[in-house]
Amino acid sequence: MKIIDGGITSPKGYTAAGIHVGIKKAKKDLALIYSERPASIAGAFTQNVVRAAPVLWDEKIVQRGNSAHAILINSGNANACTGEKGEADCAQMAALTAKTLGGDIQADQVCVCSTGVIGVPLPMETIEKGITAIVPELAEDADHADDAAHAILTTDTFKKEIAIEVEIAGRPVTISGIAKGSGMIHPDMATMLSFIVTDASISSELLQKMVGYSIADSYNMISVDGDTSTNDTVLVMANGASDTQELTEDSIWFEDFKEAFDAVHLYLAKSIVRDGEGAGKFLEASVMGTASKEDARIIAKSIITSNLVKTAFFGEDANWGRILCAAGYSGVSFDPLKVSLKISSKAGSVTLLTEGTPVSFDEEYALSILKEQEIIISMVLEEGSAQAAAWGCDLSYEYVKINGEYRT
């Protein structure tokens, strides 16, 4: 596989657009991704019991195994906690998009996603005008892909996109994705939207299976602030426009495709953490030597979710006891006297704990390591051979400022 220049329109048969319609004061706030062919659809959604209207709408489409033609996304308003009106508004957005696109497209072939402020009804008159305006803007060029990538953002400071090409039976197949997310990020999905499209031919059933495996080691292993949103959504479309043979798990090219597919999700997940609200440091917690991979996942997530760990890294303080403490309350049983711990960055590495015994270290050297923007926390247990990694960021004064003034 190889990473290529391009955005959400890189795979064949997709067009996109992003415009400003007035939900937000000035920035682009409505995006549309369109597949000329009916596409297989798969998805994953928030684990929050409070689920936004678009989540409920998209879940039904995915569960029915329907084909899909389009994904409509608005930013600036989450359409969450808006009652029956919110659900009706979501259905109207899908119906109007289908009608405006024309042809034989049905409302239940249009997924809808929203992100922004919770508990405020959608400005439907504004959105309806926006839908009629955005459809004529659909195009397959890079500028329109860029517009779509920017239109889904809220507190994000940069767009998140990637395109990867892989060869199937001697022909190129492309997988591309865009995402948004900066705050309300926590394992088991986050306040994030992620849209992946490919011109590979693959069934909705297999695509759904692949999404389940992929998110377990990507979006479900990131945390910015410990809050799981009402709107978290990952949607994947595969339209077969590459005209390659349908992929199955028995295909000799399946593993190559899966590797690229997973790489897209992992890149987007890490990009969300790098753009964590107010974040200055990107943290990786690597946990090795556990009895099972699930144990490693749980411990790694506990470490990167800990506010005390996050604030220690913000303060560039090698307060490693907080890391061990976070592992200890994760719920996984292990022997603390068999734990080794070190931190590293491009400035070097320092061992803090060896088999439960603290190691004397140079505080100034540790500080030089912690001053870097990307830091790896490595924890080794002696309970088995499994391992996993999770990704997070530090917690800063700026995070409080951003979220204290979110609605203003």
Q: pTM, whole model, 2 decimals?
A: 0.90
Same domain, 291 and 370: yes
Same domain, 222 and 286: no
348-354, strands of its sheet edge to edge = 222-223, 386-393, 282-290, 374-380, 340-345, 348-354, 357-358
Beta bridge partners of 40: 238
Same domain, 227 and 368: no
Instruction: For residue 172, give the CATH number of its domain.
Output: 3.60.70.12
Contact between residue 251 and residue 202 where contact means Cβ atoms under 8 Å apart? no
Q: What is the pLDDT of residues 310-366, one digit of tens each?
A: 999 999 999 999 999 999 999 999 999 999 999 999 999 999 999 999 999 999 999
Same domain, 151 and 298: no
Q: In this structure, what token pair is assigned to residue 99? A: 């009608």
Contact between residue 309 and residue 391 where contact means Cβ atoms under 8 Å apart? no
Q: Is 191 a catalytic residue?
A: yes
**298 dihedral zone (left: phi>0; alpha: psi -120 to 50; beta):** alpha
The tally of domains found in the chain comes to 2
Same domain, 200 and 231: yes
Which distant-in-sequence residues (6+ apart) come within 8 Å of 213 by Cβ? 262
- Band of residue 181 on the pLDDT scale cut at 50, 70, 90: confident
Q: Of 274, 298, 319, which closes a domain?
A: 274
Q: Of 226, 252, 274, which closes a domain?
A: 274
CA dihedral in degrees (92, 95, 97, 100; nearest 10)? Answer: -120
Q: What is the pLDDT of residues 15-55, one digit of tens each?
A: 999 999 999 999 999 999 999 999 999 999 988 888 899 99
How many whole angstroms separate alpha carbon 283 and alpha carbon 344?
Answer: 10
Same domain, 11 and 27: yes
Query: In 3D, which of 216, 399, 229 has the Cα closest to residue 313?
Result: 399
Same domain, 199 and 267: yes
DSSP state of 337: G
Q: Is the pLDDT confidence value at 184 over 90?
A: no
| Model pLDDT, residue 185 | 47
Please give the C-alpha separations between residue 400 and each of 183, 279, 359, 396, 405, in angstroms, as whole numbers: 11, 11, 35, 7, 8
How many residues are given for the chain? 408
Q: Of 274, 298, 326, which closes a domain?
A: 274
Same domain, 373 and 342: yes
Range of the domain at 349: 282-404
Amino acid at 231: N
How many whole angstroms separate alpha carbon 375 and alpha carbon 345?
Answer: 5
Same domain, 216 and 330: no
| Model pLDDT, residue 243 | 95
Same domain, 197 and 253: yes
How many whole angstroms separate alpha carbon 123 and alpha carbon 141?
Answer: 30
Instruction: For residue 288, give the CATH number of its domain.
Output: 3.10.20.340
Q: Indicate the average pLDDT of the chain.
A: 92
Query: In 3D, which of 20, 3, 7 has the Cα closest to residue 143?
Result: 7
Query: In 3D, which of 48, 46, 32, 176 has the Cα closest to residue 105?
Result: 32
- Band of residue 187 on the pLDDT scale cut at 50, 70, 90: very low
Q: Indicate which residue of 15, 100, 191, 228 is catalytic.
A: 191
Q: In this structure, what token pair is assigned to residue 156? A: 């994000």
| Model pLDDT, residue 190 | 41
Q: What is the DSSP string of 373-392?
A: SEEEEEEE-SS-SEEEEEEE
Beta bridge partners of 183: none
Q: In this structure, what token pair is assigned to residue 375? A: 């830091």
Same domain, 148 and 186: yes
How many whole angstroms separate alpha carbon 112 and alpha carbon 25?
Answer: 22
How many whole angstroms separate alpha carbon 118 and alpha carbon 370?
Answer: 36
Helix (H) or strand (E) holding 297: helix 293-305
Q: What is the pLDDT of residues 188-209, one digit of tens each?
A: 444 589 999 999 999 999 999 9
Per DSSP, the chain holds a count of helices (H) and strands (E) of 11, 16
Largest CA distance in the chain: 71
Contact between residue 353 and residue 341 where contact means Cβ atoms under 8 Å apart? yes
Q: What is the pLDDT of residues 245-291, one digit of tens each?
A: 999 999 999 999 999 999 999 999 999 888 866 668 899 999 999 99
- Exposed, middle or buried by CB within 10 Å (0-12, 13-18, 19+), for 363? exposed
Please give the C-alpha separations between residue 30 and each of 16, 72, 232, 340, in angstroms, as whole numbers: 11, 8, 17, 49
Helix (H, G, I), strand (E, B) or coil at 220: helix
3-state DSSP percent of the chain in helix, strand and coil, to 5: 35, 30, 35
Q: What is the pLDDT of residues 66-119, one digit of tens each?
A: 899 999 999 999 999 999 999 999 999 999 999 999 989 999 999 999 998 889
Give the mean pLDDT of 3-24: 97
Residue 342 φ/ψ, nearest 5 degrees: -145, 160
Same domain, 263 and 318: no
